[in-house]
Structure 1
Amino acid sequence: MPEDPCMDVTTFVMSGKDNLADKPALIDAKTGHTMTYSQLQHAICSVELGLVSIGVRQGDVVMLVSRNSVHYPVAFLATTSVGGVLATLNPLTSAGEAKKQAEAAGARFVIVEEEFVDKVAELGVPLVIIEKGDKIKVGSTESKISLGDPAALLYSSGTTGTSKGVVLTHRNLIAAAVLHAASGPDVEPGEVYLCVIPMFHVFGLVIVTCTQLSRGVPIVVMPSFDFEAMLGAIQRFKITHVPLVPPIVIALGKSPAVKAFDLSSLREIGSGAAPLGREVINACLERFPDVKVRQGYGLTESTAIASVADPDDLEHYGSAGLLSSNTLAKVIDVGSGRPLPPNQQGEIWIHGPTIMDEYLNNPNATAETVDAEGWLHTGDLGYFDDSGNLYVVDRIKELIKYKGFQVAPAELEALLLSHSQVVDAAVIPFPDEEAGQVPLAVIVRKQGCSLDGQGVMKFVSDQVAPYKKVRKVMFIDAIPKSASGKILRRELVQMTMPVSKL
């Protein structure tokens, strides 16, 4: 961590780049347009002046509504540089949802991509519009900012409950970038990252954007996700590192489309946002034997980082790795609140410099999640092995209660994905009068295959304890997921409700 108490995330990211002035910082995957580090610095300064001229002051919330683009980091770093707090928004949300989130965040200004102006036009706040091909003028401003000042307002996924505004400070963002960079090797010649992850998500904003720009590594930015376009970008720009979410990692390991592209430049596939099972990792390694797969664990509330796995540690593949530097964790028995020894499952608690400041305007939820000693109660079920590797089993709230036993959907999903005829899978609870709940597998089959429900249930029952067996199967065309790749289980439960009432 920097010693300067007035360090801000923009200064941290852009410092020490004089020798990289003419080197690529951001590249548009679609057009090939490149912004050098010098141009990035000039662009940030120009937007800083624009924000100050319309009245943005320290502590003001500025909402950013945009797809991934080379302008996204500019808007983010300019906002935090003048002391503003950047609130991100999924640009695909409706105008009504945008209004609700803007009001909850207390947004006083909005930076919006031209295409999405209609969604925020009725908010009654000043708009800064990102136009296509916008030319940027040079300028500079100064603002005294402290490490403890808020820098970003990101919303938790809300896949199992109401989404909450997570307030992250400059200290949080800088610490996360420093810790993530320290978890891997130094910058290697020819290193190029591909940003497929949405930049409005903590994974894309912090782990990809902040960390890699601070390291001086060029980032190729995809405006939206398309699998074959991603493969084409890897080939065209000789991508070496691609951070992904599990559904895309699964596709890399299984999709026949991969064979049409030259992906020989790839050195590492990263995965976060949800657990990645050993079976999925093995499928990737079979297809890409020279590529390393690195899995990490973190939450929006921990600025996306808590632990990172060593891709060379084959013995512990499937784990989330060792804790990041300056990070503490313990596993707590949910019933008694006592710490548990290795190899016993409980709730994961985290402590360190990346833990959020608060939930915006929600002191009760903040107190329930971060205790008086600063421990973040993650709500995730997991355990440490004897070597200190962390294994994340599932969300506690998502466990299926079968006759008093707890069944983790993520474990069954990883197993199902190892089936050659399964393209994607999710497991949800299905109400049962005798058992309380039974595991229901929602399956996306490979096109033209003969796999049926009995085949799915037998495949699982041959490999798990009796109480973990899949008892029901449903086939659909696609598993609903959030922009960050998490399964939208509530939607699946709603889809099965009419069936459960028959």
Structure 2
Amino acid sequence: ETSSVNDVFLGFIPFFHIYGLVFFGYGLSCCGITTVLMQRFDFQEMLKAIQVHKVNNIAAVPPVVLGLVKNCKSNDSLSSVRRIGSGAAPLSKELSEAFRAQFPWVELRQGYGLTESCGAATVFVSDEMAKAHPGSCGSLLPTFSAKVVDMETGLALPPYKEGELWLKGPTIMKGYLGNEEATAATLDKDGWLKTGDLGYFDEDGLLYIVDRVKELIKHNGYQVAPAELEALLLSHPNILDAAVIPWVPITMEVVEDEESGQIPMAYVVKAVDSELTHEQVIQFVAAQVAPYKKVRRVEFIDVIPKSAAGKILRKQLILQTQRPNLSKL
């Protein structure tokens, strides 16, 4: 038996996502663990369910963790909760530390997996380890192998060097149904799964995910990870949510360094009654990052569009970048 066998779990992760399917559809059901299911996610309804059902354990995603930090200043909201797991998208070091500072009695453990691995590939087996390594997704589960590969040379990289994460193990998919081309591009001849995630391992074998390779912003010869800038923006007390996307200027007069290619642009949800300006957001980031990582454009928005699994829908935001009245540096 595990320490969670007598817990009450709260479920709002969709079952059509591998996270929800494996965790709630198979795992908890097979173990006979009490689970409270929500028909759909709603933040306030989630808080009510936690209190009514005395929920102890929550399988969550980073936007939920962010919402708890930004909107639950009263400790009563999570008084019954002892553990929260996070997956589906990277949970930043900054957000992890902010959550622990606000809710010190709640364990916070991040894991990593994907549909093609049929669920989790890395986890934390103890809260002590997770607390000591904020921002990490934990270590590999038994039977899994992994390597971080240089995307130009194809060679395996040493600890702390960023590259594409490759996984191998018995639960890796056989391929995409009816799509041999996609299968060949994702699985090599030795069975290694090319995850498409940029990350690295530390010297203790703990995994850190930086961002999706395809979402990196290519600016002036450098690669900028949107997740890094988003984590920084979310540390601002007047920013409730944020998303960073690549933006390509259309005319020479729009931006002074057209030749730089893509430019980091931020969509920001600011706190109610906040007087935060575009320029203040730009300067907040600029003061803390290298010049090539600076956010050059900002637009305020009511809500950041996200999938049911909590992932930012960047394509929707990119479609809005042709609108006028954007702040510029």
Regarding TM over 0.5, the answer is yes
Q: Structure 1 residue 245 and structure 2 residue 70: aligned? A: no
CA RMSD of aligned residues (A): 1.8
**In 1, are the aligned partners of 2:245 and 2:265 still within 8 Å (CA)?**
yes
CA distance, structure 1, for counterparts of residue 204 and residue 316 of structure 2: 38
- 3-state DSSP class of the match of 1:464? coil
Shift of 1:305: 1.1
* CA deviations over 1:143-162 (Å, ceiling 9, x no partner): xxxxxxxxxxxxxxxxxxxx
* CA deviations over 1:236-294 (Å, ceiling 9, x no partner): 111111011111110011114x6395421101111110000011112211221100111
Counterpart of 1:487 in structure 2: which amino acid?
Answer: I
Work out which of the residue numbers 311, 323, 328 in structure 2 matches 1:486. 311
CA distance, structure 2, for counterparts of residue 228 and residue 307 of structure 1: 31
Work out which of the residue numbers 74, 87, 92 in structure 2 matches 1:277. 92
CA distance, structure 2, for counterparts of residue 358 and residue 349 of structure 1: 15
Q: Structure 1 residue 231 and structure 2 residue 47: aligned? A: yes
Normalised by the size of structure 2, how large is the TM-score? 0.92
Q: Structure 1 residue 339 and structure 2 residue 156: aligned? A: yes
**In 2, are the aligned partners of 1:430 and 1:500 still within 8 Å (CA)?**
no
Question: Who is 1:216 aligned against?
Answer: 32
CA distance, structure 1, for counterparts of residue 321 and residue 3 of structure 2: 48
* Aligned 1:37-186 pairs, distance under 5 A: 186=2
Q: How many residues get paired?
A: 317
Question: Who is 2:320 aligned against?
Answer: 495
Question: Who is 1:367 aligned against?
Answer: 184
Q: Structure 1 residue 304 and structure 2 residue 129: aligned? A: no
Q: Unpaired runs of 5+ in structure 2?
A: 250-257
Shift of 1:498: 3.5
- 3-state DSSP class of the match of 1:280? helix
**In 1, are the aligned partners of 2:5 and 2:33 still within 8 Å (CA)?**
no
**In 2, are the aligned partners of 1:393 and 1:410 still within 8 Å (CA)?**
yes
**In 1, are the aligned partners of 2:75 and 2:103 still within 8 Å (CA)?**
no
Question: Who is 1:207 aligned against?
Answer: 23
Work out which of the residue numbers 242, 261, 278 in structure 2 matches 1:425. 242
Poorly superposed stretches of 4+, deviation over 6 Å: none
CA distance, structure 1, for counterparts of residue 274 and residue 218 of structure 2: 32
Q: Structure 1 residue 259 and structure 2 residue 84: aligned? A: no
Shift of 1:332: 0.4
Counterpart of 2:191 in structure 1: which amino acid?
Answer: G
Q: Unpaired runs of 5+ in structure 1?
A: 1-184
Question: Who is 1:33 aligned against?
Answer: none
Shift of 1:448: 0.4
CA distance, structure 2, for counterparts of residue 357 and residue 437 of structure 1: 36
Shift of 1:386: 1.1
Normalised by the size of structure 1, how large is the TM-score? 0.61
CA distance, structure 1, for counterparts of residue 34 and residue 62 of structure 2: 24
CA distance, structure 2, for counterparts of residue 473 and residue 191 of structure 1: 43
Bigger Rg, which one = 1
**In 2, are the aligned partners of 1:231 and 1:261 still within 8 Å (CA)?**
no
* CA deviations over 1:25-67 (Å, ceiling 9, x no partner): xxxxxxxxxxxxxxxxxxxxxxxxxxxxxxxxxxxxxxxxxxx
Counterpart of 2:170 in structure 1: which amino acid?
Answer: P
CA distance, structure 2, for counterparts of residue 307 and residue 262 of structure 1: 29
Identity %: 51
| Distance 1:264-1:367 versus aligned 2 partners, 3 A rule | same
CA distance, structure 2, for counterparts of residue 276 and residue 500 of structure 1: 32
- 3-state DSSP class of the match of 1:265? coil
